Amino acid sequence: MNGSSSRRRNFAIFGAVAAVSLVLTLTNIPGGGGLAYTERASMTLLAPFQRAIAWGVQGGHTIWKNYLALVDLKKENEYLRVTADRLAFENNALVERLKQIKRVEELLASPQGVAYTTVVARVIGRDTSNRVQIAILDRGTADGVEEGMPVITHRGLVGRIVRASTTVSKLLLITDVRSAVDAVTQESRDRLTVAGVNEERLDVRYLSVDADAHEGDRVVSSGMGGIFPAGLLIGTLVGVADQADSLFKEATVVPAVDFDRLEEALVLKVPRRPAPVLEDAPTDGERMESLP
């Protein structure tokens, strides 16, 4: 009798946990609207502690770099690195502009990263698990940051804002499996989709077998889809190969941004444009951009 009662009790505990979880899951897919306020409140509550740790770590890192290790050389190196980053970014923007002029497409906007108003944000945290590639930024709606805004660094595209509270926001990196960006190769202008796989590299999808893309080609956002402006550098194409019995080539992209060392980023204040949305698609946002 005791054994039976104990089994029932165990089943009841398991059932209660499973039921609560299932209700949470089913009531919040897709979009997470139901608990969005709770999410924003918890983000705001945790932010001061995250800021403190980020400040401590980055402060310690700065002290080490500036005072303990070859001060002048480090400074010069830092200056050169920043200059190289800036020049690479400007070069990419100019190449993009040249391409556009050559194709006489004056109606298209100029390289977007330069033209938009930006908000500089510091990365103060990451997701609670490493399964969602999210970074927490120390800027929120009070600073003009809104959900859907693209985020870049001087090196290239980083991701987009998926949740914004008053003081902090969540940035979904392009390396996340939920991300897919419509892109083109900078030289040959071949269309492709760059998808995250929760790793440092990015997967290339829908690159036609007829494409003239080569290893080392730079890949930039196409501007299709309504989230990312055109011309933002994503990375470099590697491992381009034909696949047997397939309409598409196989390739990967090495991102221009080093996501492990992401400390600051620029949020582009881009006005949202209507995206080609399928109402019953499994996830919203960038996944829509993978539509041909």
Binding residues (CB under 8 A) for another protein: these are: 10, 13-14, 16-18, 20-30, 32, 34-35, 38-39, 42-43, 46, 49-50, 53-54, 57, 124-132, 134, 136, 162-163, 170, 172, 177-178, 197-200, 260-261, 282-283
| CA Rg value for the chain | 22
Q: How far is the CB of 93 from another protein (least distance, A)?
A: 29
Cα atoms in the Cβ-side hemisphere of radius 13 Å centred on 25: 6
Q: How far is the CB of 261 from another protein (least distance, A)?
A: 7
DSSP notation for 186-236: TTT--EEEEEE-SSSSEEEE-EETT----TT-EEEE--TTSSSPTT-EEEE
Our CB check for another protein shows the closer of 45 and 101 to be 45
Our CB check for another protein shows the closer of 22 and 94 to be 22
Q: How far is the CB of 170 from another protein (least distance, A)?
A: 6
- 128 close to 120: Cβ distance less than 8 angstroms: no
Our CB check for another protein shows the closer of 154 and 170 to be 170
Our CB check for another protein shows the closer of 114 and 197 to be 197
Other beta carbons within 10 angstroms of residue 140's beta carbon come to 24
Q: How far is the CB of 125 from another protein (least distance, A)?
A: 4
Q: How far is the CB of 251 from another protein (least distance, A)?
A: 18
Our CB check for another protein shows the closer of 215 and 258 to be 258
Q: How far is the CB of 56 from another protein (least distance, A)?
A: 9
Our CB check for another protein shows the closer of 124 and 213 to be 124
